[in-house]
């Protein structure tokens, strides 16, 4: 195992150890999305067709929201607690740190998506035309996107209060414009164009296609690639905000 891999894995193990010391956060990470999906199922008790449409889309949105919150606060603590400065005086590459975070929270996203998918498809009786694995893949990609965006915005927050405020500032507009409430083609042209460059739109599109179409079309894979690409871009931008020298 080379040194960079060792440092990345050690970082991932450390982040998971921190989570292990905080069982309440883990429980919220895993079960809050499930609880919300149950809520949704019985909200639309009389309209199962609506649940079949919105359920998968929210299955993609919840991991994004939760991972965004957790990672932005975790990274902010690293910055304000002095541990980031210590790490950057050590032989730790910026990428080692970010990939360590990505691995640890990616594992959590995987678990979260597995639980939520199993619940909605199994217990709640969600009817999806496409394959389960595709639904699951999009949910994980969404979780990773939320994590990468959270890492990035933590650079612009000085306190945990500010970090939490980035959720309405960064994610709510995406949520409003992603086509969940109003089909994107019905929006004012400027908003539709804006929604075309927001990654969450592609996540929700992908979920919509998987629900409606039997197989996995090229469009779904393209949507998935956009979401994953956006996550990578946000990670790269996040790396650029980690400065060894500061004022």
Partner 1 sequence: MMNSSGGPAIRVEELVVRRGGATVLPGLDLVVERGSVTGLLGPSGCGKTTLLRSVVGVQRTAAGRVTVLGHPAGAAALRDRVGYVTQAPSVYGDLTVGENLDYFAAVLGAPPGDPARVTSLVGLDAHRRTPAARLSGGQRARVSLAAALLGHPELLVLDEPTVGLDPVLRQELWQLFRELAGAGTTLLVSSHVMDEATRCDRLVLMREGRLLAHDTPAALLAATGAPDVENAFLTLVRTEPEAAR
If the CB atoms of residues 22 and 127 are measured against partner 1, the closer one turns out to be: 22
246 binds partner 1 (CB under 8 A): yes
Decide: helix, strand or coil at residue 91: coil
Q: Which of 5, 10, 27, 132 binds partner 1 (CB under 8 A)?
A: 10
183 DSSP 8-state letter: -
Judged by CB under 8 A, the stretch of 1-9, 41-49, 199-207, 215-223 that binds partner 1 is 1-9
Tokens representing 173 are 């507009």
Q: Which parts of 55-94 interact with partner 1 (CB under 8 A)?
A: 81-83, 85-92
Ordered DSSP codes for 45-70: TT-HHHHHHHHHHHHHHHHHHHHHHH
Q: Are 184 and 177 in contact (CB under 8 A)?
A: yes
Round to whole Å and give the CA distance between 34 and 70: 17
If the CB atoms of residues 90 and 188 are measured against partner 1, the closer one turns out to be: 90
If the CB atoms of residues 20 and 45 are measured against partner 1, the closer one turns out to be: 20
Mask for 19-48, x = binds partner 1 (CB under 8 A): --xx--------------------------
3 binds partner 1 (CB under 8 A): yes
247 binds partner 1 (CB under 8 A): yes
Write the burial class of residue 156 (CB in 10 Å: 0-12 exposed, 13-18 middle, 19+ buried): middle
Q: Give CA 107 to chain center in angstroms.
A: 12
Q: Which of 13, 43, 158, 236 binds partner 1 (CB under 8 A)?
A: 13
Judged by CB under 8 A, the stretch of 3-11, 122-130, 222-230, 233-241 that binds partner 1 is 3-11
Q: Are 105 and 190 in contact (CB under 8 A)?
A: no
Q: Are 31 and 183 in contact (CB under 8 A)?
A: no
If the CB atoms of residues 91 and 214 are measured against partner 1, the closer one turns out to be: 91
Binding site for partner 1 (CB under 8 A): 3, 6-7, 10-11, 13-14, 17-18, 21-22, 81-83, 85-92, 244-247
């Amino acid at each position: 195992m080379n040194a960079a891999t060792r440092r990345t894995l050690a970082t991932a193990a450390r982040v998971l150890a921190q989570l292990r010391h905080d069982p309440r956060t883990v429980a919220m990470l895993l079960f809050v999305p499930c609880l919300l999906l149950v809520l949704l199922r019985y909200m639309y008790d009389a309209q199962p067709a609506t649940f079949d449409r919105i359920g998968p889309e929210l299955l993609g949105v919840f991991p994004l929201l939760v991972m965004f919150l957790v990672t932005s606060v975790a990274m902010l603590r690293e910055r304000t607690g002095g541990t980031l400065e210590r790490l950057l005086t050590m032989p730790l590459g910026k990428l080692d740190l970010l990939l360590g975070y990505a691995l640890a929270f990616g594992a959590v996203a995987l678990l979260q998506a597995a639980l939520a998918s199993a619940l909605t498809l199994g217990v709640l009786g969600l009817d999806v035309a496409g394959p389960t694995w595709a639904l699951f893949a999009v949910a994980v990609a969404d979780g990773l996107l939320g994590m990468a965006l959270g890492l990035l915005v933590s650079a612009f927050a000085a306190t945990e209060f500010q970090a939490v405020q980035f959720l309405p500032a960064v994610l709510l507009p995406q949520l409003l414009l992603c086509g969940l409430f109003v089909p994107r083609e019905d929006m004012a042209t400027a908003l539709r164009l804006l929604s075309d460059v927001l990654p969450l739109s592609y996540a929700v599109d992908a979920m919509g296609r998987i629900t409606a179409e039997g197989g996995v079309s090229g469009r779904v894979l393209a949507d998935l690639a956009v979401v994953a690409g956006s996550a990578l871009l946000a990670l790269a931008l996040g790396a650029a905000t980690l400065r060894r020298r500061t004022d």
